[in-house]
Amino acid sequence: MRIFYSEEESFEREFAELLGRGKMDIESVEGSVRAILDEIRHDGDDALLRQIGRFDRWEPADSSELRVDIEDMKRAYDSLDSDLKSALHLAYERIEEYHRKLMPKSWIEFDENGSMLGQKVSAVERAGLYIPGGKAAYPSSLLMNAIPALVAGVEDIVVCTPTPDAHINELLLAACHLCGIEKVFRVGGASAIGAMAYGTQSIPKVDVVTGPGNIFVATAKKMVYGDVNIDMIAGPSEIGILADESARADWVAIDLLSQAEHDEMASSILITDSAKLAEMVSQEVERELSTLDREEIARKSIEDRGAIIVTSDMQEAVSLMNEIAPEHLEVMTVAPMQLLSSIKHAGAIFLGRYTPEPIGDYIAGPNHTLPTGGTARFYSPLSVEHFLKKSSLIMMSEEGLGKIGEECALIAATEGLTAHEKSVRERLKSK
């Protein structure tokens, strides 16, 4: 694994290359994605059937085959190993508990004049969840997307997932049953995003689309934004680790690989003030690679997008990590809480040596759908907020309007909006 030293003359250029790690060449697929979306908008289910044959290598007889039978989901759940079933229930409970704490409340406040201001918080009517199913299927992503929607109060949830060669992941179906989801469709890629955004004869139009995917999914989400809301445009997975000499090199190495095994495009970056640790971690990464089932994927990720950076001190290490703004950030130092106030940008922060990133992927409770590619500077993790909308509440009493109406009319007149001004002044005259 490559080691860079911040004091070297070439470091600024090399670090700039690292910052471009998550950039997706969306422009290269925009034409193809636009054609897919246009086809769905015009032809609905007929377009979906053609696209499934083209991209997923199977041909449904008709649109009725797109929807997964509810009984199939129940059978998948019932056939789960008891230990795995218990693990999924524990994950559900912890994710639900965490997201309930994030739930904002409606509020109403009256003043001394009898006027009222407030906010009404309500769920969107229908949410569309995209759950990947290509190189790997992730039932945990179903839990992380569905549970916040359920906590928010969404009554109608639609799930789309690709089924290459007509194969669907049984554990994903079991997770759908656990969440009480009944509308699951065998549709993937940009086709699924278009179907949920515009609606077809089989798949209803939704209000918000969430969930990760490849470059085609990300591009489609970008294109349909405005017709529906979306959570974020996520790229390849990534991890950043801040570590000092107290960190165990073998633990750091396997945590770097926990992201590298996701995808060849994933990035794993360690920043440390210990040159000794850097060398040890590099050796451990090489040793651990040969033990992985997905060694080929992880090796390409580490070779192309992995890095170890050695800095003069931890202050510089934190500063560089803030520039990276990683999706996942582990802090493996003697006193990790002391660095927390200095960390400005990260999707999720894992503090301490006993908090590996995978604990957040599955069972800790916070959401694992996180901003990537440096977008943690302005995006937040998926939460109940993505499934909610808010309405401002305003009610003026006669006395309350009298207190502020003149100032309102003055501002309206200054802007040259005569009807606005008159709307207020007519009411002031009636007093």
- What is the dihedral sign for C-alpha 361, 366, 370, 374? negative
pTM of the model: 0.94
Domain 3-24+235-364 and domain 26-230, same fold? Reply is yes
365: tokens are 């409770």
Nearest 5 degrees, angle CA 287-CA 254-CA 89? 140
Q: Tens digit of pLDDT for each residue in 11-56?
A: 999 999 888 866 777 888 999 999 999 999 999 999 999 999 999 9
pLDDT given at position 17 = 86
- What pLDDT does residue 117 have? 98
Number of Cβ within 10 Å of residue 114's Cβ equals 12
**Residue 177 a catalytic site member:** no
How would you classify the pairing of strands 116-123 and 328-332? unpaired
Burial grade of 51 (CB within 10 A; 0-12, 13-18, 19 or more): buried
Contact 345, 322 (CB under 8 A): yes
Q: Write the CB contacts of 367 (distance below 8 Å, at least 6 apart in sequence).
A: 95, 99, 144, 148, 381, 382, 383
pLDDT at res. 135: 52
**Bridge pairing between strands 3-5 and 307-310:** parallel
Cα-Cα-Cα-Cα dihedral sign, residues 183, 189, 194, 200:
negative
Q: Which residues does the chain have with pLDDT short of 50?
A: none
Q: What is the pLDDT of residue 431?
A: 63
Domain regions of the chain by residue span: 3-24+235-364, 26-230, 396-429
Catalytic residue among 328, 330, 368, 421: 328
In CATH, the number for domain 26-230 is 3.40.50.1980
Supply the CATH classification number for the domain 3-24+235-364: 3.40.50.1980
pLDDT digits over 89-131, tens only? 999 999 999 999 999 999 999 999 999 999 999 999 999 999 9
Say which of 39, 238, 327, 357 is annotated catalytic: 327
Nearest to 204 by CA among 163, 162, 158, 161: 158
Instruction: Check if 327 is active-site.
Output: yes
